[in-house]
Every structure is written in C-alpha cells, then in structure tokens.
Amino acid sequence: MEGVNPKISRTLLDDGTLAPEYDPGLSWDELRFVYRHMVETRLLDERLTALQRQGRVGFHVGCLGEEAAILGSAFAMRPQDWIFPCYREFGAALMRGLPFQSFIDNMFGNDNDTVRGRQMPDHYTSRRAHWMSVSSPVGTQITQGVGFAWAARLRKEDLATLIYFGDGATSSNDFHSGMNFAGVFKAPSVLFCRNNGWAISVPTERQTASETFAQKGVAYGVPSVRVDGNDLFAVVFAVKSALARASAGGGPTLIEALTYRMGGHSTNDDPNAYRGSDALAAWVERDPLLRVRRYLERHGEWSERQEEELKQALLDRLRAAISIAEQAPRPRLESMFDDVYERRTWNLDEQRAELLARVDAAHGETPSHGAARGHGPVRRPSE
C-alpha cells in the first residue's frame, strides 16, 4: 500500500536487545529520565483514582498501559515544539515542565488552578511547557494543532506540533479536516493516534472497516507508520523520524501506536461492563513499565532499591501537593470575568460589578460596586 508501511515497528526485542534499524540511541541518563516519569505517571494514576473514589476529586482520566506511547512521543519532541493533547497525557505535560503543584491544583479546581476551576480535572494548560489546553470534545485538537503548525510555517518559525488523539477520534470531522489540511499545506505536524483498542466502550473493530488506522493517511497524501505503542524505544524512534521530516519541510506524518487501555475510559467508566475479565491477560507481559525496567536491570542501570526510593519520593511529593491543594481556597466567583480577553472589556466590568453587588446584598452588606475588590469604576466606551 503506497504511503503507509503496514509493518508494526518494534525496537525492544524479546531477547532484550534493540533492533538497530529502529534504535533511537537513547543514553542511559535519558532512558532513566523517561522511566522515572513513566513510574510517576503510573503512581499518579493509582492515587488520583483513589482520591476520586474517596470523593476528594471529581474525575480522573487515566493512561494505565499507555505510558510508553505518551511519554516516549513527548520526549522525542523539542522544547520549542507545541503539544496538542487529548486528555490522557498528564505525565507528558509534567515531563515537559507543567509544575507538579499546578497539576494537583487543577485536579482539585482550587483558586491556584491555572484554569481557575472552570474545567474538569485533568483539563490543564501550560504556556511554560508549550502545552495547549485540554478540551473534552473529541478530535478538536487535530484541526487546532495543524493550524498552529501551518501558522508557524508561514512565520518561518522552527517548530512542529505533536497532536494526540485516540482511535475513536478518527471518526470525527476534525480528523478528516485536519488530515486533509495538513497534507495539502505540508503542515509540520506529528499526528499521533493511540490505538488502545477502545473508544470508551466501542471496540476497534466497530470503529472502522479499514485494516489499520494508519492507512487513513493515504487518501490525504500523509505518510503513515505503525509502531508498537508499548515499546518506548520504537515510539521515540518513530516520532523523532517524523519530527525530522516535518522540520525539513516534508510535511506531516500519521503515527498509529498500538497499545491497550488497561483501565477504564475514566473514573466514571466500568470496563467490566463491556469487555471480558480475560481481556488484559495478553497485555500483562507487554506492560510498558515492566519492559523498560527489565531492560535497565539487565544492563545494571536500575535496581530494586532505586525503584523503592523513587516511589517513596514520589509519594512524599504527592502527599505534600495534595495537602497544599486541599487547603487552598475555592476560585473567586468574580474570576469568571478574567481571562476572557487579554484585557477585560467595559461590559464585562459592568457585569462583574453587578454580580458582586448582588452577592453583597444577599449577605446583607452595603453594595461595594466592586471598588473594594480590586477593580475600579466601570467606564463605557463613550466615557
């Protein structure tokens, strides 16, 4: 099939060696760095799910079993590149510079949350990490990410975009619009499809009649590859190759990373309702964390002591962050008028003052018209 390689690229072989043709050349320091973040991601998944069950946070979207696909792809990008996430990629955001406390504040939706509690938990953003805001509608990040990359190309900026989406998003309008636009305009984008077997409760075989998701790039003139999404080395190699092509002006690449969602779609989902209890058996030995750890230990670059020390340090850090987040105040009601525009407009100021006056009246206070709350007199355009 022209334009797509149906072969599933693998680097970490069963005998513990690396296939030279797909070896990304990671140093031991780099490999340990990514592995630590994979462990952090797994631990956060477990603890945040527990917090949701306790009623302390409202929601969590996990990535159990998909850590290599997520962390490996983000690691392969450069600092100047921008990430357009789906909603499972919190581990990659932390790896790229999203402050740990900011992430935990977002989970609690407190006044320190960068999105002021306006979004669901796991819906964060970080200019520092070059991380666009997570948005729940399926597939919308695809057109946004492609458009951002095209704009950068017009401005002759050396950057590319990594766009995450699941197999279910390939049925969205934005996938087809984004693919077509990227192909026509040679947008420097890496379109990364995590084929984890499920779109909530819809299995892959009911999502598409095509043999692969990668082949969907053919009609749009977008070269496509398939990669073992549980093989960290193969993911890094595939994304680095796609990034090099994009940076050289070659345009976009569609990557289908084959992995498996070992948990539910979210904490609001019970996967046992639609898949058999034996569904995970074939994936246990392909656990991405286990594969990387075995490789490191085989070469004397990791130990049980290091593993335990890492987990304890992560738990201590998490407990401290949760304590801070739970003690922080709720977002201020009037903050809903901030960040709508770069500067608040006169009509937003007017609405804000009216809201605060009503709140004061409801509490039996003299209306302040907002002056005591940090914003001055309302001025219409004509004043």
Can you give the CATH number for the domain in which 91 is found?
Answer: 3.40.50.970
Instruction: Please tell me which residue in 118, 274, 298, 358 is annotated as part of the active site.
Output: 274
Domain assignment of residue 379, yes or no: no
Q: How many domains would you assign to the chain? A: 2
- Structural domain boundaries enclosing 352: 333-373
For residue 220, is it within any domain? yes
* 25 and 137 share one domain: yes
131 three-class SS: strand
Does 381 fall in a domain? Answer: no
Is 122:60 a contact under the CB 8 Å cutoff?
yes
Are residues 153 and 216 located together in one domain of the fold? yes
Q: What are phi and psi of 2, to 5 degrees?
A: -70, 135
204 and 178 inside one domain: yes
261 is catalytic: yes
Domain boundary at 327, 342, 361, which? 327
pLDDT of residue 140: 96
88 is known as an active-site residue? no
Radius of gyration of the chain (CA): 23
Do both 308 and 368 map to the same domain? Answer: no
378 domain-assigned: no
- C-alpha angle with apex 351: 346 to 352, nearest 5 degrees? 95
CA nearest neighbour of 263 among 229, 287, 235: 287
Residue 244: both structure tokens together: 């090099």
Strand order across the beta sheet in which 82-84 lies: 4-9, 224-228, 253-258, 189-195, 161-166, 82-84
| Mean pLDDT, the chain cut into blocks of 10 residues (383 residues total) | 70 94 97 98 97 96 96 98 96 97 96 90 94 93 98 97 97 97 98 95 92 94 97 98 97 97 92 86 91 97 98 98 97 90 94 94 69 41 40
Shared domain for 318 and 361, answered yes or no, is no
Same domain as 305, residue 238? yes
pLDDT of amino acid 7: 85
User: Is 337 part of a structural domain of the chain?
Assistant: yes
* Residue 265 designated active-site: yes
Residues 149 and 102 occupy one common structural domain: yes
User: What does the pLDDT read at residue 13?
Assistant: 94
DSSP annotation of 170 reads: G
Do residues 17 and 76 touch, judged by C-beta distance below 8 A? no
Considering the domain architecture, whether residues 101 and 182 belong to the same structural domain is answered as yes
- A 10 A CB-CB count for 283 gives 16
> Using CA atoms, how far apart are residues 364 and 119, in angstroms rounded to an integer?
31
Of 176, 79, 86, the closest CA to residue 124 belongs to 86
pLDDT on residue 381? 41
- Please indicate, yes or no, whether residues 365 and 260 belong to a single structural domain of this protein: no
Query: Looking at residue 367, what is its pLDDT?
Result: 57
**148 near 80, Cβ under 8 Å?**
no
Residue of 123, 261, 286, 352 with catalytic role: 261
180 and 32 in a common domain? yes
- Pick the catalytic residue: 42, 123, 265, 286? 265
Residues 239 and 349 in one domain: no
Residue 380 located in a structural domain: no
pLDDT score, position 285: 85
pTM (two decimals): 0.91
One domain for residues 305 and 350: no
pLDDT at 277: 75
User: What is residue 1's predicted lDDT score, i.e. its pLDDT?
Assistant: 42
Which ranges of the chain does DSSP label H, i.e. alpha helix?
28-53, 67-76, 90-96, 100-108, 140-154, 173-185, 204-207, 232-247, 281-284, 288-298, 304-327, 346-362
Q: Is residue 344 part of a domain?
A: yes
